[in-house]
Amino acid sequence: MFSTSQGIPGLPDLTHPTELIQIGSELLKASLLIVFLVLVLGIAIALISFASRYNKSEQAIFLGEWTIHYSQILRGLEHLALVLILLVTGFFFCSTLSNRYHHWEQAKVTQIAQSVAGDKLEQISPQVRYVTQEPYSYNTQVNGKIVKVNDTQQVNRFLSLAGSQIQVKLEQSTDVQGRSSIYRVDYSADYKVVNRLKDIKSFVFEAPPPNGYSLLSNYKVEQNRTRLEPINPDNYNFAFTLEPGQETSFRLTYQAQGGPRWVYSSGGQLLSNFRLTTIANFAGADFASGIVPSATKVDGRSTQYTWIFDDNVSVKNPFGVFTNTNPVKQTGILPRLLLLAPGLFLWWILLLYFSLPMSLKNVAIAGSIFFACLLALTYLSRFMDAQLAWTIISLIMLTLAWGLGKHRGASLAAIICTIAGAILPVFGLLVPYSGLTLSIAGLLSAVWLAVRHWYNWYIWQPEDGVK
């Protein structure tokens, strides 16, 4: 049984009511602390102003300076509060998305695993059983003395099959309720038995049906084209006689339905003159257990595997056919990206602050665009390649970022900041060479800020102001 896939342990998830209440209480405490600090600063300025009320000139200078500083601090606090709100909200938003995406990935992996490692149809090689008398001894007590008694007992022994010629036709049915797929099996096998014993001629041919079947029909065992009836109605044992040195043949046929694999087990026997041919009439068929077939033939959607063992071959694991699936690659990439998304947003927004004037409205719109693009990437990646999806989203993001500038120079600065601070870092977390891509993005950001400030490359006029 497979365990139910869960989200990432310990990560906040806004879809959980208890966590949502806890997060709300913590945010309320943090908000009250910020309000308290602002009030304390205002009260401190008022007290200092009251203390210097007798010195009018000193009071005027002090109040003028602190009023300017206080207003600047308040404006800075407005921007800081907005960025913090966007960061905190974005973190909980992205952590919730990360949990959901991780849950979706694990459910997908579990579904694929169940399709290849669930129930199976396992055909066990028939056995030829006989009973022989073998001597044995035991000790017993007679008249107070220990006496050794020699006796005989009946022991079950098995006769090796002299040859096996098996043909299996497999059909696959998908979209079965409660199952990933089922196999329909048409089985026919000819077994050769040679009596190499001298004094035994009574045998039992044990030919069990496949393990794991949900439907078995037309089960039939024939000896030299004569149908045999089982010894008991509730088992699959068939009695027959064979003179020493003689040989006979058995034919076993049936149709069965069962789990999405079919394998043949030798049951610990040595295989001689063995030939197994499986014909899988569906796409994606592959051989199971790593026992490489002697021959493989592909004809359209049909694949034929043939195993040939000539003399005394021991095969430990069951071998046969299963439905191959595409390997599950690159799991965990989107959850990791979403967890790092608030840091990437801070990287981008700081580049914008250091490169062009930013109003509260522009910061709020930019934050909304960034997290909306991540949301689009999260769901588009379920249907298409994540790198292609981000390429398409990046073009939209660049088009929107152009509007941050009031003229062409400022818009160009916004484009450079968006490429270096948002598009390349996100793309770097999607590709295998993340370290190289992130290094290039960091270098581009540093070079841009150096050119912009150290070499006085003003790409807008000072009178443009803030939008």
Q: Are residues 141 and 246 in the same domain?
A: yes
Please tell me the predicted confidence (pLDDT) of residue 4. 42
Average confidence (pLDDT) over 448-457:
78
HSE of 402, CA atoms in CB hemisphere, 13 A: 7
Residue 137, Cβ neighbours under 10 Å: how many? 8
Considering the domain architecture, whether residues 308 and 425 belong to the same structural domain is answered as no
Domain ends where: 63, 91, 117?
117
> Is residue 467 predicted with pLDDT exceeding 50?
no
Q: Which H or E run contains 140?
A: strand 127-142
Q: Yes or no: say if 86 and 363 are a contact pair by the CB < 8 Å rule.
A: yes
Which pLDDT belongs to residue 186?
A: 94
- Looking at 117, 136, 153, which one is the last position of a domain? 117
Same domain, 289 and 337: no
CATH number of the domain encompassing residue 296 = 2.60.40
**% of the chain with per-residue pLDDT over 90:** 21
Q: How many domains does the chain divide into?
A: 3
pTM greater than 0.75: no
**Is the predicted pLDDT of residue 221 greater than 90, yes or no?**
yes
**Host domain of residue 290:** 121-323
In this prediction, residue 463 has a pLDDT band, given cuts at 50, 70 and 90, of very low
Q: Tell me the two tokens of residue 284.
A: 């994606």
Q: For tokens 């038995």, name the residue.
A: 193
Are 47 and 143 in a shared domain? no
Q: What pLDDT, on the 0 to 100 scale, is given for residue 16?
A: 53
Coil, helix or strand at residue 352: helix
* Confidence tier at 101 by pLDDT (50, 70, 90): confident
> 413 and 279 share a domain?
no
> Which of 83, 117, 151 corresponds to the end of one domain?
117
Do residues 368 and 465 share a domain?
yes
Supply the DSSP string of 135-161, one letter for each residue. EEEEEEEETTEEEEEEEEEEEEEEEPP
Regarding whether 113 and 129 lie in a shared domain, the answer is no
Does residue 229 sit in the same domain as residue 303? yes
For residue 288, the one-letter residue type is: A
pLDDT in tens, 308-328: 998 888 888 888 888 776 655
Residue 210: helix, strand or coil by DSSP? Answer: coil
The pLDDT of residue 2: 39
**DSSP result, 216-234:** EEEEEEEETTEE---SSTT
For 380-427, the three-class secondary structure string (H helix, E strand, C coil) is HCCCCCHHHHHHHHHHHHHHHHHHHCCCHHHHHHHHHHHHHHHHHHHH
Residues 165, 257: one domain? yes
Residue 253: pLDDT band (50, 70, 90) is very high
Q: Are residues 347 and 465 in the same domain?
A: yes
Of 3-12, 265-274, 397-406, the one with minimum mean pLDDT is 3-12
CA nearest to 260, candidates 147, 114, 149 = 114
Same domain, 127 and 257: yes
SS3 246: coil
Same domain, 32 and 160: no
Q: How confident is the model at residue 7 (pLDDT cuts 50, 70, 90)?
A: very low
DSSP string across 93-134:
HHHHHHHHHHHHHHHHHHHHHHHHHS--EEEEPPEEEEEEEE
